[in-house]
Structures are given as C-alpha cells and as structure tokens.
Structure 1
Amino acid sequence: MVSIICTLRDHTDELSGCAFSPSLLATCSADKTLRVYNTADFSELPFSPLSGHGYGVHCCCFSSCGSFLLSCSTDGSVIVWSSGTGEVVAVLQHPSRSPLRVCALALDSSLVLAGACDGTVALWDFPSKTLRRYSLTSVSEASVVACCFSPCGQFVVTGCTNGDLKLWDVDISLLHAEKDAHDLGVTCCSAAPQLEVGSLEKTVLKISYLSHLSTCIMTLLHTLTSHSAPVLSCAFSSDGDLVVSGSVDKSVAIYDAFHSVIHTLHVSAALPSPCRYVTAVALSPTKPWIATGSMDRTVNVWRIGDGDSRTGIYLAVNCLGRKLPGHSRLLVADWSEQDVQTWLREEGLEELVGNFKANNIDGPELSYLNKETAAELGIDIMTYEGKGLSAYATCLNNARV
C-alpha cells in the first residue's frame, strides 16, 4: 500500500521541514540550508542548496502557484526565494528579531504569517513585501510554533507550546475562538477545505471543524491516537481527504480524515538503515506521494497506492469503504450499529444486515473484522470477494501489518 520511491541524503543536520509544489520538493534543516529537487526524478536543482539564513531553518512552504519558496529561521527572518532561479526575492525581518519557528502563506498568496518564540506573530503583505501587522502584545505567553490560514482566507489559526489553539481574523486583531487543545502543547497545525484545523501534541492528533455561519466555533471532530510517542508533524492532503503525521516513535500514520487509520508506516522497519524521529511530513498536491524528514538527516519519498497519480491517493482513501451519507465525518470506530447496517446496504450486502444486527456489530466490532472473526459469525469472507466486506477486511489486515 505504501512503498519507498527514493531517499535523499544531502543535508548535514537534522530535517526540520519539507514541502511540495506541483513540480518541486523543498527541504530545510538545522544545517541552515534549503534543498530543492525536481519531482520528475528527484534530482537536486543546479542552484540548490539555498544559503541565506544565519541559523537553522525551521519551516518552508511554497506559494500555491509554485513560483515562490518561503523559509523561516532562528535568525528572525522569513526569506522569499524564487523557485525557478533560487535567487532571494525578499527578506522579511520580524520586528523584534525573535527566532521564528513557523511561517505560512495564504492560499491566494496575499499574506505571509510567521510565529515567533516570544509569543508574537507578524503579518506581511506578500505582493509588496511590507509589514502589515505586528502583535505588540503577545498572542500567547508561550512560543508560537504552529500557524496556518484557513482555505477561505478569512481566518488564521495559531498554536503554542502551552497547548493553546486560537482562531483569529485575518488581521490577527480579533480573537474569534480559543481552545485549550492539548495539555502538553501544540506542535503543528494544518488546514483543509472540509476540516479546518488539525493539531498535535504528545501522542494525539485532533481534528476540529470550523463553523462560521453566525459565530465562529471550533468543534472537536476526531481524536486520533495511533502513535505511541510524541507527534512532531502533520499535514492534510490538498483535497482534505488524508491526514499524515510523523512521530518520535519513528512511524508515519496515514489517516482517512473522515474514518480511521489507513496505514501506519514504521519507517525504521521499512528502510535498511536505522531511522530516527520523523520531524517533517508533506503530501504532493499532484501525485500520490508523501515526503518524510527525519533527525537522521534523510528525506524519504513514499508512494501511496498503485502509483497512478489519478487514483493513488483516492485508492488509499476509499480502501476502507465508501463514506456513509450523513456519517461521513465519523471514524469507523465511532459508528453505531445502525451506521454499520447502513454501510452494508450501501455495499449491496443486505443479506448480512440481520446477522450483524443479531450480533450487535457496531463500529468498534467492525474495526476488528477479519477472516477469523467473520467465521465466528458464520460468514465466509471469500464468498464476498470483490464486494465491500472482503475489501474492507483485506485493507484492515494490511493496515495492521
């Protein structure tokens, strides 16, 4: 289901970030540099590495068109690079020169946001490269280590080491909502069209839904707990269907954002050489690929599914069954008995509804379905080969490997 494409070993210190554009992969490191690769063959571009920061680089991101690459550093600056030439287009300096831990660019490339260790954020107008707003009073008493723009461009989310997750207007002047999201601190956040906020701490990833019909409300949607050690990075796919996270436990978890874990990739077991903490993850907007960065100084690029760019990610997403009308925002483990029965009907398995109902099969029970447990119900999985039940059991078994 997930296979290695290549391993990049060019950085001389631990990886801190990676990002895809439609045709490029960028990585950044504590070695003060960024490296840029052509995704056609993952060869490093002639102008790479990019050197300009005085200290380690913590974060990098592309503009939506792919023409610009942004990076931020302990040196308190955001550098805007030309993706085509590697030249420095602009240097955006944080007013207090506080170390910057994270930067983000609005989807329409109108604004740049950066979070600092002193608890402040700075907002620049991207076309003119001028400072638009600087929070003279801290948005948090702790370091701002996570930030993102909502896809609609109307809101900004910030996450801090004290566990706060805050929703602001786009000018960072009005606080719409605040959550004490994580006891042990937020490490990253990401946004998607349907699921506005994903954030992480310790071993837990939480997905929230943002509603702003009349008032802005952040509602906890899922809590995902597949990791056994602190989670360091997360990312949504461009369509919002997948969530990927990397952890100190040396694994990468791939989730269907609406259902459950599709696959847990144990990087250390999948590679011939030892692996350390997974510190960065990114998904390609055009290919079924994931990039993961590690403290072992390497970047691994993985393929999801059969490698077909048209179906790869969607094959993986749909592997655990179709989304149920009215239940598409529930994890399988959260399904009621009625949800399971509705799913059976959706898959053309009406004859099994009575059996499942008699045995009180709900979402948690369905999550552990395999050939053996099905046999206990008097069901021969192979009888349903090619139908939803067989595919579901097969995918679950693969995900547990």
Structure 2
Amino acid sequence: MTNEQHNESEQAAARSLLRSIATDLGHPVAPEWVAAVESVPRKLFLPDLIWLENGSGGYTLCNRKTDPDRWNAAAYANASMVTQVNDGKDPGDDPWPSSSASAPAIVFRMLEMLDLHDGANVLEIGTGTGLTAAYMSHRLGSENVVTVEVDPEVTVLARGSLARAGFHPEVVCGDGTRGWGLRAPYDRVSVTCALRSVPAALIEQTKRGGKILTPWDNPWVCWGLLLLTVTGGGHAEGRFSPYSAFMLARNQRTDLRIYRDVVRDEHVPEESRTDLPAHDIASDGWELAFTLGVLLGDVWKAWDNDPDVDGVARRLWLATTDATSWAAVDWAGEGPDGFTVWQYGERRLWDEVAEGYTWWHAQGEPGPERFGLTVTPDGTHRFWLDRPENTVRIRSELG
C-alpha cells in the first residue's frame, strides 16, 4: 500500500468512526472535535497488545504484529478496549482490566459536557493511553492541559505517545485523587476513572464556577456520570446523567469475597420468605440498579450460580463493605413458592432492598438524571432527587 493509499484508508476510517460517534450522541460531532479526530489518529495511542472482549464475559489478547487486521479494526471501532490487565502483572488464567481506552462516543460525550472554552485550563485524572489529553491539547493548547496517571508504566507510554503526536501537556505520575496543586486552580477537572466519593482536593483545586466531571461508582453498580459545579469554600453541587461504566480509582477499590471475608460458620442467620423476584431486582434495569446503589450506600452483591445446596438453583448474596451484615436469597429454579431469605447482622439487607424497590416505584422509577449530589466543605455527600432540598436517605448513614 502506498503512502497515499494508506492516508486515504486512515481518513476513511476516521470518517466512519465520526459517523458512529454522531449516531451515539444523537447529533453531529462539533467541528472542533472533528478536527481533533482527523488530526489525532487513535491508533497512535494504542499499545501493540490489547485485550478484547471474547463474548463470554472475559478477554482475549490481540497482538498487532500477529493479527494486524483485527487490531486495526479495533483501533477504529466505536468501542472501548483494555490496554492493561492486572495492574501490569502476569494475569495467568484470570485477566481483569486495569487500564483501557474508552469508547470514542463516551469520550466525546464527556468532552461536550465539560463545555471547554478557549483559554480554559484542564486537569485530567486518569491519563490512560493519553488520547483524551491529546484531543484536549489540540483544542486548548498543550500548555493548558495537565493529566495525572497513577500507573508508572502507563504514564511512560502515554507521555511517549503524546510526544510522537506532537503534544506536550504536563503528564504527572501520581495519585490523581489528590489532584495537582502546582497548576491549580483549574477551570475544568475531567476524571476518567470512576469515583465513589469526590475528593476534597479536586474541589479545592477548581475555580469558583468551574466544573468537575466524573464517572460514578458504588458497590452495587458502576454506572452514570456526575457533573458538579464548584461554588467556592469547598462546596460543589450537580446532577447525574446516564452512560458510562469506568474502572474504579485504584485507591477506592475494595477486594471482598463472600466466603473469604464475610460469611462465617458461627453466623446464625434469620430465615424468611419473599415473593419479590430477587434475580430481576438484582440484575435487571440500570435505573433500578443506580437507585439501589444510592439508597443502600455500601452494599454489594454477588451471584452464586452453582451453590451446591439441595433445592437451590441460584443464590444472590448481599453484604456490606465492612463485612458486618449479609443476606442470601435462594431461588429453587421453578415453582410458585417464591424465595428463601437468610439475613445476618445489624442490617437486614434484603429488607432494605425490598424497601428501596418499593420507594423506586413510588417515585416514578427514576434514573440517574433525576438524582443530584451536594458535597459540603466537611466532605459530606448528600444525595437528592429532582431538587437539592429533596434529600434522599442513605441506609448506611441511618443510626
């Protein structure tokens, strides 16, 4: 292939990607971002080894050198891809994502939400491949972009990719939840890893009237975006929106397992029955999942699809992140007899789920866009529905 043919192929791939992004957004991509896509090829920021979903809930390795067609197709697909597994360690037979290139549509959705203007200075938390930093540098100038990455190896790769593409933002290796005070205050803070709470440092380093955009996570579900406006004095307020599921910030991770960390032989749970469909409540519908995550606060779930218990086809586990309360809901697999519930600890977690389910219906089955969050100077996170004065009670905070 000649250089001219290669360039034509690259341009055609970029145009196809822009059409796919516009379809997801529901409107054409803004001219400044079209120019960024055309000027900054995504493939320049991808490593030779990437991990692609295998259709069975796992990942398979794709090597640019041995499978160039598949690699190139992934490079210009409107989809995310994993660029590092297991924090860079040998994954063995259990690869799990630890760094990725986000789907282009969510990248440009977030860039739109940030509402960048000429001369704005931006702090990005989670450099990843460096591609979003490149887009922002193209739009604002490298001198107005600071990006922080926690992983040293990922930092080096991103810095090199940015330089080869002709961009030189400040690339910092460090804990992004602490921000980067040396260049503060910022007009915009863009977080590209999910947070379970908004660090005070990010609010303090944002100008009054500035905005913080972050993917959201709670132990129940990772889903949604939060756009906050900083009003000064450590106070910020804003609303959620749907879309996005990002990797959790490394210093906010939890590593809990039911039998290792929660359930003990000496625990004596209380038994009851429920007609509520546990598998539907715990599995179906992003709107319900987001609501339960807000209401329950610190409760996570896990499925046991082969519990090895007579008469039980599937078991739903619930537990608090401090491992002091848990519940198990058993499904026999057929028949009209409902579900058997076992609950242990100070909190009755299935009762809380049932109460949250009833509340969600009573409120008109809200999704993320009806919820908001106020962060106060003392670090309190107060959720609300529709209006800031309509506070939502969080079960984990009730005494």
More helix by share: 2
Structure possessing the higher radius of gyration over alpha carbons = 2
TM-score (normalizing by structure 2): 0.27
Could you say which structure has the higher strand fraction?
1
Q: Normalising to structure 1: TM-score of the pair?
A: 0.27
